[in-house]
Structure 1
């Protein structure tokens, strides 16, 4: 927490002074009561002692004074707020290796379901697009606020041969650049979320694609999905299709994005939820004077009610 007018923080010096005065007053009161009355007499006059409750109104009052002193200094805190605009392109691997059933019922079916939930959870004002890639990459849904189009296209994805991860990145970048508001003076932030289970086997080299994304200022967050034991039937033979996490990690690092791994349905859902939180929200510094004043008022009310209920008087 920081303050716009920290000079007023000197008012906090009154808090320890008041606390010391309260403690001194309580000690004098105890000595006076014992001096002029015997203990049995005190018990008959006040059989129900308030105990620790007698200090609560004073504590609440002191808390209110501290909060008011902080409010005068106009506190500023980092708060998480929803982004007003952003562009997110979901790039999904539709290569044959996504048929692997090391994740039930298959990698592609779980990936579709998780990507659908991810798109549904993004703020409505976000532009969301879909790029599918196997031997080549294609824009299945251009980025727009019509999230239903992207969701419908996810359900219709079909598998093909090869894996062109570099093409997926460059195609996603082009779809972002084609947006009208991307050419504005203040374009919305953009992010590519790419899920794959294999290495780049065709198309644009990954290094070239990463360089283009970094130059455009568009981070690529990658998800390496599947297990090392994945296999598919290809040409009548069982062919291993292990996950190539290294290349995806390099792509994320070189573009300023995040790298994630997932080997199950639950892990993939969690990855998308984490991405949704990081993309859909941003941290900003905002003045919270009103919030602090509200806390001070609540403390004052608590002090007054506690004193009236327990002692039939105001503090």
Structure 2
């Protein structure tokens, strides 16, 4: 903290530091005078030593105080200022709804350590880079529901993303309801106030609907188009598997035709991610395509610091005078 404070100190007239050259000259003069000005004492014993007292040990203190005062005075003449750069962002963001597949297949390890882990971590990085947007989160498996509605509260959203887990059974039906996931996201984002509405739909599978399905992908697509929602679809998973992976039952059920159709008909794009790097690149590209109108206003806060130095100079000179004419007073 102290380092950061001093790091913001600037000098308006740094050329005045050239006067610091006088200090070594004054020290040389003082030392020369101190050697020649000592009195001689006749002693009968060659081993006689002058007793060490407070006055003899600290006889140079007044001179040291004067040098400190001169150094501080020259520093004050350089006109130090504490400057702090401040900024704030103003502008209109866009509404973004992250729509993530949390089905059991997302635990596949063809993308290390798991598809779901990588998808979650990259999504977190994406959210951190969008400070002025309202972002929400919809998850889907055999059902779809809103985890976080559109919000400016990035802390809550990031906490929910961090705690997100694959819903393989339990209180959510197994399956992959891409259509209902998309429809749920559209129903949330269409209520937003931003003119630009974007859904990022990420899945590693194809529509695998239980009998309870309400909305199919084609119907969800029509709903998205009717509400002018642009959908970016991301297919996640390695295209070709090794023999060991195939032996472990790893398969790619990605329905790229469906995802391409959703993206193309809503004005978005389809991407295929095969590893962490490609997924990061996809989110970076979406980030560039969906830029927000943000104006960064910068201003500088300046505080003059020479006055405390001048007060310190006066205090040191006053202390030197007091000591020189009391404790360290010399008799002729």
TM norm structure 2: 0.54
Contact 2:93–2:292, Cα closer than 8 Å, also in 1 = no
Cα shift readout 1:57-110 (whole Å, capped 9, x = no counterpart): xxxxxxxxxxxxxxxxxxxxxxxxx96221000111101111110000010000
What is residue 107 of structure 1 aligned with on the other side?
115
2:219 pairs with 1:208: yes
Q: In 2, Cα distance between the equivalents of 1:224 and 1:262?
A: 6
Q: In 1, Cα distance between the equivalents of 2:128 and 2:205?
A: 26
Candidates 271, 284, 296, aligned match of 1:260: 271
What is residue 312 of structure 2 aligned with on the other side?
none
1:36-75 alignment to 2 at 5 Å?
A: none
Which has the larger displacement, 169-178 or 139-148?
169-178
Q: CA deviation at 1:147?
A: 1.6
Q: CA deviation at 1:230?
A: 6.1
Candidates 128, 133, 142, aligned match of 2:135: 128
2:271 pairs with 1:271: no
Contact 2:205–2:252, Cα closer than 8 Å, also in 1 = yes
Unpaired segments of 5 or more residues in structure 2?
1-89, 169-173, 294-332
1:54-203 alignment to 2 at 5 Å?
A: 84-122=92-130, 124-159=131-166, 160=168, 161-179=174-192, 182=193, 187-202=194-209, 203=213
Residues 83 and 189 (structure 1 numbering): CA distance in 2 closer, same or farther, change over 3 Å? Answer: farther
Q: In 2, Cα distance between the equivalents of 1:242 and 1:165?
A: 13
Q: CA deviation at 1:258?
A: 1.1
Q: Which runs of 4+ in 1 moved over 4 A?
A: none
Cα shift readout 1:203-247 (whole Å, capped 9, x = no counterpart): 32111111100000001110011113469xxxx973524432221
What is residue 15 of structure 1 aligned with on the other side?
none
Cα shift readout 1:11-54 (whole Å, capped 9, x = no counterpart): xxxxxxxxxxxxxxxxxxxxxxxxxxxxxxxxxxxxxxxxxxxx
Q: Higher helix share goes to which structure?
A: 1
Please report the RMSD computed on the Cα atoms of aligned residues, expressed in angstroms: 2.4
Unpaired segments of 5 or more residues in structure 1?
1-81, 283-315
TM norm structure 1: 0.57
Determine which structure has more spread, i.e. the larger CA radius of gyration.
2
SS in 2 for 1:221: strand
